[in-house]
Structure 1
Amino acid sequence: MSEAELVELARGIHERVITLDTHDDINAGNFTAERNYTTDLPTQVTLPKMEEGGLDVAWFIVYTGQGELDEAGFQRAYDQAIAKFDGIHRLTEEIAPDRIGLALTSDDVRRLVSEGKLVAMIGVENGYPIGMDISRVKEFHDRGARYMSLAHNGHSQLADSNTGEAINEFLHGGLSDLGREVIAEMNRWGIMIDVSHPSKEANLEAMALSEAPVIASHSTARAMFNHSRNLDDEQLFAIRDNGGVVQTVAFRSYLAGDKHAEYSRARQDILMTVAEEMDFDFAGADGPGRAFSQAVSQLPEAERDAYMARYEEVQAAADARIEAEADQLAPPVDVADFVDHIDYMVDLIGIDHVGISSDFDGGGGVDGWDDASETFNVTLELVRRGYTEEEIGKIWSGNLLRVLDEVQAVAAEIQAREG
């Protein structure tokens, strides 16, 4: 098959299958009447980018960072979560209902796609905003949430986080008592349990307790790169045995962290060389970073504006050099590295348990799939690897929607059993 024939085959498959990305972070400020996803904002996901790349379904994420485990912290997180829920509803119901609709079931997804519309779904990253009020599980369900993780980066009131591994410091030794109740409540209302961020012990306990399959909404294989955010083979086998699915994430430092670090160093070296050639001194540190930002923020306003204008000139000049030189010095993490993880997990746990996610606007993206407009390149790489149209359909959306169906069927059974 020639390259042109391969691309033509891939385009046909890409148009026929439903493409679904389970993790796209959002800022509530991008869901207003004045500023929203109908225009091509400098975010990795917008409606124009989805349309250009053929991304049918985006799971918009109600994320809250981990704060203090007290009433004030819970309230702040709840308020932030509601603002994001409201923003997603505003987009699909008021701003652009002719272009995108909110799906709550797999049937909704297929209906909206058949109508020629884009699809929004809602996931909750971090159960922290539930606070100590378990009734909020149903509230989040009623607001449209169809998956939720019990922790993020930092231990929540519900579960330990993977971040405890680095210092061997955990709060619960897995799930808390409330976390166990939340697992049962999520089963009751048909919310998929997301095991991407909690600790290994919390994840294994969640799978043992859950009556329904679970998902990892944005994770990769730890055997391929050793990072606490990645899932080791024991967890991958547990997800398979549970009937769940792992949504492989296009996150550079999880896919190939060493390769990404080399590429980042090459970029930094070029930037510093250009800065020296242009007689520009970085404030506070050797290059952009927290110390640089803090030093710049302390400058008088007029001086700060002039300094940042000069910095932007240096960065633009460096970007031109980086594009020409960095790839040769140290190749970036790319779509092939991403699909290597898909291959590994398909070989290990089977085609029915692997899916796709980007973590766009939350740090995700690889060379070749760095925003939604480049989504076709993933399908193209899968075709290059010899995946069939049926298999590609499963990986892009079939497996995830199958789990959603099963989770909702279990919920119906529980509710019937309880009368």
Structure 2
Amino acid sequence: MTGPAHTAKLLLATLGVLTIAAPASALDAANAHRHALTLDSHVDVLLPTTNARYFAPDGKSFSEVSKLKAGGVDALVYAVAVSTGPRSDEGYQAARAEADEKLAAIRKIAADNPRDVAIAYSADDVRKIVGQGKIAILIGFQNAYSLKPDVAEFDRLQKAGVRVAGLTHAGNNAFADSSRPQQGAGEEHGGLSDLGKASVGRLNDLGVLIDVSQLTPKGVAQTLALTRAPVVATHSDARALVDVTRNLSDAELDAIKTNGGVVQVVPFNSYLKAQPADYAQRLKALRGQYGLDPDKAGYAGADDLPAEKKEAFFVAYRALSPQATVKDYVDHLDYIAKRIGTDHVGIGSDFNHGSGVPGFADESEAPNVTRELVARGYTQAQIDQIWGGNFLRVLKAAEVAAKP
């Protein structure tokens, strides 16, 4: 992350300068990548207790500092995410403990790498830290299940450094419905509950950027109707290309544009390539073959299989789905950019949570995305927007909307 080109990049980042766009044919992909302030808007936090499946083949994080440096990634949002569990005191306490451990883990990354990493608390902080030649870490949050439930808990999180927050993950909670509800749960609240609606206003007051990636269409619409600041979808794809509930429809994309928000595109294989017509039948047969309940979804229960059997199951499970590529990934980015404009699209990897495709499998391979953007004719100014400029714009707007 050193040398004349990077020094120029850091100066431009610090000053917030946007250069005149060069013709696409004149762009060199490596130089274009070095010029951009590159920001990944959603990365999960690994703990020693995290399932080994979520670690990279080297046994480390997909966003290890060495990989960030190798990929020229300047900033990222580490999301304090927890699984949804029972709505009981015990469940909330366990989720709170996990969230607190992940907050501490994020701070430890910066503490262990003081020459290379610093925590950012604002859009201006990100630019300043990058201007110092360091990687900026923003703290995000996902899944209000861990908040008791109590809207006032967002105040505690904001004081702890959280600057981006989403209400749901897989499974509904007391605040909102998830785009991936637990089996048979359906839409419990019709989008946001009263707690969820109150949370939108509170997050606005605190200057925290609202993340809509895991909400239902009704939840997205209600959030957009209530918020007085732009929102972000930190890791989503286009439903027009692949019809899964985690992807955003054209109507949702258009509404996010109207709001002034940004959709950060994620390289998650099953959101990028449609499943074959016989996928459900083949999955059911595979689950039965390994003694798992054939009527349950995905890999539910597979982590309890004996080690050797579990590994074989996951190899077969992954083989059920077609493999997406960097081109497929940029197809979604390209679709969203053409639908709502390059002012409203960005990049959020969801690394350390099963995301990644060959060519963009960890942070070290981020330049391959820029290479594909250049090949499709994106200009330097557009690449600068996509890789970090758009996200920093909406983060700043959320800050401005805060009430003292």
TM over 0.5: yes
Residue in structure 2 matching 1:171, options 173, 177, 188: 188
Matched, 1:222 2:214: no
Report how far residue 47 of structure 1 moved. 0.5
Report how far residue 200 of structure 1 moved. 0.9
Matched, 1:27 2:46: yes
Residue in structure 1 matching 2:360, options 364, 369, 373: 369
Query: Which amino acid letter does the alignment assign opposite residue 42 of structure 1?
Result: K
Which residue number corresponds to residue 84 of structure 1?
102
Secondary structure at 1:104's aligned position in 2? coil
Mark the CA change 1:292 to 1:204 in structure 2 (over 3 Å): closer, same or farther: closer
Please give the alpha-carbon distance, in whole angstroms, between the structure 2 residues aligned to 1:293 and 1:156: 24
Matched ranges for 1:114-125 at <5 A: 114-125=131-142
Please give the alpha-carbon distance, in whole angstroms, between the structure 1 residues aligned to 2:303 and 2:86: 26
Secondary structure at 2:180's aligned position in 1? helix
Report the TM-score when normalising by structure 1. Answer: 0.79
Residue in structure 2 matching 1:203, options 196, 220, 225: 220
Larger Rg: 1
Which residue number corresponds to residue 322 of structure 1?
none
Which residue number corresponds to residue 17 of structure 1?
36
Report how far residue 169 of structure 1 moved. 2.0
CA deviation string 1:307-340 (max 9, x = no partner)? x4x998x99xx99xxxxxx9xx997311100111
Secondary structure at 1:50's aligned position in 2? helix
Which residue number corresponds to residue 80 of structure 2?
62
Which residue number corresponds to residue 67 of structure 2?
49
Secondary structure at 2:221's aligned position in 1? helix
Matched, 1:296 2:306: yes
Runs of 4+ deviating beyond 3 Å: 5-8, 164-168, 259-262, 282-285, 288-295
Answer with 159-168 or 52-61: which moved more.
159-168
**Identical aligned residues as a percent:** 38
Which residue number corresponds to residue 383 of structure 1?
374
Report how far residue 392 of structure 1 moved. 0.3
The answer for unaligned runs of 5 or more in structure 1 is: 32-36, 270-281, 298-307, 320-325
Report how far residue 216 of structure 1 moved. 0.4
Which residue number corresponds to residue 106 of structure 1?
123
Please give the alpha-carbon distance, in whole angstroms, between the structure 1 residues aligned to 2:277 and 2:207: 38
Query: Which amino acid letter does the alignment assign opposite residue 233 of structure 1?
Result: D
In 2, are the aligned partners of 1:260 and 1:332 still within 8 Å (CA)? no
Answer with 67-76 or 368-377: which moved more.
67-76
Report how far residue 283 of structure 1 moved. 7.0
Query: Which amino acid letter does the alignment assign opposite residue 131 of structure 2?
Result: S
Report how far residue 72 of structure 1 moved. 2.0
In 2, are the aligned partners of 1:284 and 1:291 still within 8 Å (CA)? no
Report how far residue 46 of structure 1 moved. 0.2
Matched ranges for 1:13-412 at <5 A: 13-29=32-48, 41-92=59-110, 94-164=111-181, 169-258=186-275, 294-296=304-306, 308=308, 332-411=323-402
In 1, are the aligned partners of 2:275 and 2:322 still within 8 Å (CA)? no
Please give the alpha-carbon distance, in whole angstroms, between the structure 2 residues aligned to 1:6 and 1:369: 24
Please give the alpha-carbon distance, in whole angstroms, between the structure 2 residues aligned to 1:370 and 1:226: 23
The answer for unaligned runs of 5 or more in structure 2 is: 1-23, 293-297
Report how far residue 167 of structure 1 moved. 5.2
In 2, are the aligned partners of 1:164 and 1:199 still within 8 Å (CA)? no
Query: Which amino acid letter does the alignment assign opposite residue 81 of structure 1?
Result: A
In 1, are the aligned partners of 2:123 and 2:395 still within 8 Å (CA)? yes
Report how far residue 61 of structure 1 moved. 1.3
Secondary structure at 1:258's aligned position in 2? coil
Report the TM-score when normalising by structure 2. Answer: 0.82
Mark the CA change 1:14 to 1:290 in structure 2 (over 3 Å): closer, same or farther: same
Secondary structure at 2:383's aligned position in 1? helix
Query: Which amino acid letter does the alignment assign opposite residue 63 of structure 2?
Result: V
Report how far residue 259 of structure 1 moved. 7.0
CA RMSD of aligned residues (A): 3.2
Secondary structure at 1:163's aligned position in 2? coil
Mark the CA change 1:141 to 1:186 in structure 2 (over 3 Å): closer, same or farther: same
Mark the CA change 1:405 to 1:163 in structure 2 (over 3 Å): closer, same or farther: same
Report how far residue 115 of structure 1 moved. 1.3
Secondary structure at 2:355's aligned position in 1? coil
Report how far residue 294 of structure 1 moved. 4.2
Q: Count residues with an aligned counterpart.
A: 361
Please give the alpha-carbon distance, in whole angstroms, between the structure 2 residues aligned to 1:404 and 1:363: 26
